[in-house]
Amino acid sequence: MIHISLPDGSKKEIARGASLLDVAAAIGPRLARAAVCALVDGELRDLRERLDKDASVTFYTRGSLQALEVLRHTTTHVMAQAVKRLFPTAILGIGPAIENGFYYDFATEQPLTPEDLSSIEKEMRRIVTEDHPIERLDTALEETREILAAKDERLKLELLDDLEEETAVLYTQGEFVDLCRGPHLKRTGEIKENAFKLLSIAGAYWRGDESRPMLQRIYGTAWESKKDLDGHLENLAQIEARDHRKLIKELDLVSFHEEGGAGLAYWHPKGGRMRVIIEDYWRKLHYEGGYEIVFTPHIGRALLWEASGHLDFYREGMYAPMNVDGQDYYIKPMNCPFHIMIYKSRTRSYRDLPLRWAELGTVYRYERSGTLHGLLRVRGFTQDDAHIFCTPEQIEDEISRVLDFSLNLLSGFGFTEFSVELSVRDPKTPEKYAGEDPMWEQAEVSLVRAIEARGLPYKRMEGEAVFYGPKIDIKIKDALGRAWQLTTIQFDFNLPQRFDMTYIGEDGKEHRPYMVHRALLGAIERFYALLVEHYAGAFPVWLAPVQAVVIPISDRFLEYAQGVVDELRKAGIRVEANFSTGRMNAKIRDAQLQKIPYMLVVGGREQETETVSVRLRTEEDLGARPLAEVIAMILEKTEARSLI
């Protein structure tokens, strides 16, 4: 007999070799019917698996995330079966469940087309309707090899060679056999035929190895009900419509150029306008918040990067050095050593601290070309960086301030839902970390107090701290409910020591200052991508690159229209004139596509009464208004940084 520990603390005794299904049945018939899979000693298992030793077991029933994962994993097998029916020479790669869906990789003679996807989907529905039982076979390695070799599954054979166990697990459904650990549903008919969909085809290297042939990866999604599927597809459509890579092109904001180099952003006049607004606001808040703004070089001598340790632990992220007067210089991947140089330019007293120095510092880091993604992952970017240097007594107050500062800055851009991750060291291996124990303890206490005082939800991540200090990361939620990590507040017990930074304390002796790195928006480029997606390009008036466009209904009113443009411009409003010869409706449509907040239409009546007819990008019509009133309205929204 073996003992099974259950989540409620109770134990069940069952015969050695019993299956998880037997365990569920021993607990109760209702669980036996509803269970889909089980977590056994931390691993998700198929209910047909047999237990040969004591274990702790948690069952998952339909409706749980784990059950959804099993459903998706089973659906990918059904897809593989359909592919093999339609393309008998296709060779199986791997097919896991992923967040919200699944994929399977195949080696095919010809690339698959979108038309193939719909015929595969049709065949999948047939397999679901055929309702094949899904059988699990624990098979000796040699026998498994023969079965796979007979089917010419050379990629699966490769996986088999890496197995350390003595038996392999095969699953069959109808004529289809696959090497897989599971877990799976019990029958193909448990998949709802109207609750899955194939989404796309992409190339993928076998086992991620660029020297191996490219496989065809089919992505799909599967849900418990058609309603869930439809909700997910709607969400995907929203994500696609808001994709910043599409919008920055359509709205003429930012571009990338293959001939200029991958991952390097070009800011066009309208993107540039917005960037200046973002940066000006950032600078204003920093001065108000007791920061000073510094500027430092883009390159620095190797000496600096040796002292900082970057050449030891970050070299692969840095570009090759350039030789100047016999010295190696590196393009900066970070701003920290430069701010430390400023700190060390004179003797610092405790009376000078805290020092808060911020810089919109442009850095360059090597990212593999496959990971580049629009403005979200680039090779050159501007961090909204700052370093805080303070005494140990000041640290708690400083952490508190910087947290408030971050939340205030982010909510200014319309983000109000935050969550925090606190990364602390692994208490079992204190020797792996720089800095003394009391420093880590104090740092952690000040971080926790600051988070809790603000009632922010947070997750404590033990062992996730980097070796030089604990940190907090703040995530925001965007309009689609997606979480994005922006702010990082990071202690550093390493650099002050490496650069031998000191201040003269009240006791007249030298002390080591505390150093905190913080970036609130993260990188301007990435933050900008997020803004574009959050607002779907329809930016609040204060951020919009063009706030108003003036549209005369015919050439006869050009002079009045020009006067309106001049008045707006004089008031500091970002205005465009559309004096082209097109039809008025086409011009309004164009302004709507450009998501310009105010369209000011002028004709005879407006000219006579010194008014403009105001239309909003939401298609709302405010009618004719005195020009002065419209100017006041736009200015008021701008100055208040109104989000609507």
Binding segment for Zn ion (CB under 5 A), chosen from 60-68, 424-432, 510-518, 618-626, is: 510-518
Q: How far is the CB of 319 from Zn ion (least distance, A)?
A: 19
492 beta partners? 515
Q: Which of residues 53-112 bind Zn ion (CB under 5 A)?
A: none
Contacts of 171-175 with CB under 8 Å at 24 or more apart are 171/77, 171/134, 171/135, 171/136, 171/137, 172/134, 172/135, 172/137, 173/77, 173/78, 173/81, 173/127, 173/132, 173/133, 173/134, 173/135, 174/81, 174/127, 174/130, 174/132, 175/81
Nearer to Zn ion, 406 or 578 (CB): 406
Q: Closer to Zn ion by CB, 272 or 380: give it.
A: 380
Instruction: Provide the mask over 239-268, with x wherever binding to Zn ion is found by CB under 5 A and - wherever it is not.
Output: ------------------------------
Spatial separation of the C-alpha atoms in residues 92 and 148, rounded to whole Å = 10
Given 48, 73, 84, 471, which residue is catalytic? Answer: 471
Of 423 and 578, CB closest to Zn ion = 423
Helix (H, G, I), strand (E, B) or coil at 530: helix
Q: How far is the CB of 488 from Zn ion (least distance, A)?
A: 10
Selected catalytic residue, list 72, 336, 518, 587: 336
Decide whether 190 or 478 has the Cβ nearer to Zn ion: 190
To the query of whether residue 517 is one of the catalytic residues in this protein, the response is yes
Please list the alpha-helical segments (H only) found in 344-500. Answer: 395-412, 437-453, 495-498
Decide whether 336 or 465 has the Cβ nearer to Zn ion.
336
- C-beta closer to Zn ion: residue 156 or 197: 156
Rg (Cα) of the chain, in Å, rounded? 31
The span from the CA of 205 to the CA of 368, in Å, is 15
385 has catalytic annotation: yes
Catalytic member of 173, 383, 547, 607: 383
Task: Indicate which residue of 517, 526, 574, 595 is catalytic.
Answer: 517
Interacting positions 308-337 with Zn ion (CB under 5 A): 336
Phi, psi of 45 (to 5 degrees): -125, 160
Q: Is 520 in the site for Zn ion (CB under 5 A)?
A: no
- Cis previous bond, 337, omega within 30: no
Nearer to Zn ion by Cβ, of 399 and 600: the residue is 399
Question: Minimum CB separation from Zn ion for residue 74, in Å?
Answer: 7
| Minimum distance of Zn ion from residue 304's CB (angstroms) | 13
In our burial notation (b when 16+ CB lie closer than 10 A, e otherwise), range 315-338 reads eeebeebeeeeeeebbbbbbbbbb
Nearer Cβ to Zn ion (273/498): 498
**Least Å from the CB of residue 401 to Zn ion:** 18
Q: How far is CA 492 from CA 350, 436, 498, in A?
A: 19, 12, 11
Classify the C-alpha dihedral 376-380-382-385 as positive or negative. positive
Backbone angles phi, psi at 143, to 5 degrees: -65, -40
d(CA 409, CA 398): 16
- Binding region for Zn ion (CB under 5 A) out of 212-220, 232-240, 301-309, 514-522: 514-522
What is the rounded distance in angstroms from the CA atom of residue 563 to the CA atom of residue 574? 15
517 binding Zn ion? (CB under 5 A): yes
How distant, in Å, are the alpha carbons of 94, 119, 128 from that of 190? 22, 21, 8
Question: Within 289-436, where are the H helices?
Answer: 302-308, 310-313, 336-343, 395-412
Which of 178, 385, 473, 492 is catalytic? The answer is 385
Cβ pair 601, 551 in contact under 8 A: yes
Q: How far is the CB of 372 from Zn ion (least distance, A)?
A: 23
Q: From the candidates 184, 365, 526, 587, give the one annotated as an active-site residue.
A: 365
Residue 560 CB, nearest distance to Zn ion (Å)? Answer: 55
x-marked contacts with Zn ion along 161-200 as a string, rule CB under 5 A: -------------------x--------------------
The crossing angle, in degrees rounded to 10, of helices 269-288 and 524-534 is: 110
Cβ proximity to Zn ion, 103 vs 542, nearer residue: 103
Closest separation between CB of residue 517 and Zn ion, Å? Answer: 3
| Rounded least distance, CB 81 to Zn ion, Å | 11
CB of 308 to Zn ion, least distance (A): 10
- Beta bridge mates, 137: 170
**What number of other Cβ atoms are within 10 A of residue 37's Cβ?**
26
Q: Is 402 in the site for Zn ion (CB under 5 A)?
A: no
In angstroms, the Cα distances linking 538 to 530, 542, 588 are: 13, 11, 15
Site for Zn ion in 332-351 (CB under 5 A): 336
45, 156, 387, 587: which one is catalytic? 387
- 359: phi then psi, degrees, rounded to nearest 5: -150, 135
Query: How big is the site for Zn ion, counted in residues (CB under 5 A)?
Result: 3
Q: Is 383 a catalytic residue?
A: yes
Residue 398 or 576: the one with the smaller Cβ distance to Zn ion is 398
User: Catalytic site residues?
Assistant: 336, 365, 383, 385, 387, 471, 517
Q: Which residues bind Zn ion (CB under 5 A)?
A: 180, 336, 517
